[in-house]
Amino acid sequence: SLQAGLAVLLKAERLFHSSYHSQAVHIRPICRVKTVIRITCLSLVQDASCLAVSWELRQTLTVVFDTFSSGQGKKDWSLFKMFSRTLTDACPLASQSKVYVDISPKNKEKELLEVTPPSASVHEAIVQGDKRTYAVYDLLSPSLFNTSRSLNVQLKWKRPQDSSELPIPILHAQRYVSGYGLQAGEISTLIYNTHPYRAFPVILLETVPWYLRLYVHTLTIITKGKENKPS
């Protein structure tokens, strides 16, 4: 059902007209019951063995909205502007339902950033070597919907921001097509790391149209002018 929880935001015309969207299904076996045999007199410990296996299903949806272009050069955004809907309650079957908003300040921008409504808690994490701060909205918290029957998270800037001030991501990429036909045609992807000294492992996932045939044996990776073989 798409009538409760975060699923109410999954409005097709909004998702499929975004700059990027990706759906994924992850299935993995997990151990349901473990047993450990310890023989203390001989100082031997047998490794844990799994007696029963369960399967874990995880579904993810990734969506990228270009709110700066669609908002006529403004960095303000809200759930309603992006999805045409707001959150009214949590999914009754969910044991956890949270919304995280990145409010990490850049230089002196902390005073310029305003998130409404104020979040009850804040979460900090290290992402690609940088400290990130997130405002957390717990949909299972009874006090979240006390003042209003809907949650419309909004991010506003107290004064207009120039487009040149948008921060460049540490890792960013671009892709272009050159040549023509199956023999001379090429697809090139450029990945940039702007960190002053740190290297990062990169997993590249390419979405290839059904009408395009790629020959994997022609894959070449060049780093700093030298060929680099993938793992």
Lowest model confidence (mean pLDDT) among 44-48, 68-72, 224-228: 44-48
Average pLDDT rounded to a whole number, residues 134-155: 84
pLDDT tens per residue across span 29-68: 988 766 555 555 544 444 557 788 899 999 999 999 887 7
Confidence label for 107 from pLDDT (cuts 50, 70 and 90): low
| CA atoms of 139 and 120, how far apart (whole Å) | 11
Report the pLDDT value the prediction gives residue 219, as an integer from 0 to 100: 87
Confidence label for 136 from pLDDT (cuts 50, 70 and 90): very high
Which residues sit opposite 124 in a β-bridge?
133
pLDDT exceeds 70 at position 72: no
| CA atoms of 151 and 80, how far apart (whole Å) | 9
Average pLDDT rounded to a whole number, residues 155-173: 71
Average pLDDT rounded to a whole number, residues 110-122: 80
| CA atoms of 207 and 86, how far apart (whole Å) | 31
Report the pLDDT value the prediction gives residue 56, as an integer from 0 to 100: 92
pLDDT exceeds 90 at position 167: no
Percent of the chain with pLDDT over 90: 12
Report the pLDDT value the prediction gives residue 44, as an integer from 0 to 100: 46
pLDDT exceeds 50 at position 100: yes
Radius of gyration, alpha carbons of the chain? 24
- What's the mean pLDDT when you consider all of the chain? 80
Confidence label for 191 from pLDDT (cuts 50, 70 and 90): very high
pLDDT exceeds 80 at position 96: yes
pLDDT tens per residue across span 199-216: 888 888 877 777 777 888
Report the pLDDT value the prediction gives residue 46, as an integer from 0 to 100: 46
| CA atoms of 211 and 17, how far apart (whole Å) | 22
Report the pLDDT value the prediction gives residue 164, as an integer from 0 to 100: 47
Are 150 and 115 contacting, i.e. CB atoms less than 8 angstroms apart? no
Indicate if the alpha-carbon torsion angle 126, 131, 135, 141 is positive or negative.
positive
Which residue do the tokens 């948008």 mark? 166
What SS3 string covers the chain?
Answer: CCCCHHHHHCCHHHHCCCCEEEEEEEEEEEEEEEECCEECCCCEECCCEEEEEEEEEEEEEEEECCHHHHCCCCCCEEHHHHHCCCECCCCCCCCCCEEEEECCCCCCHHHCEEEECCCCEEEEEEECCEEEEEEEEECCCCCCCCCCCCECCEEEECCCCCHHHCCCCCEEEEEEEECCHHHHCEEEEEEEECCCCCCCCCCCCCCCCCCCCCCHHHCCCEECCEECCCC
Q: Around 115, how many Cα atoms within 13 Å sit in the side-chain half-sphere? A: 22
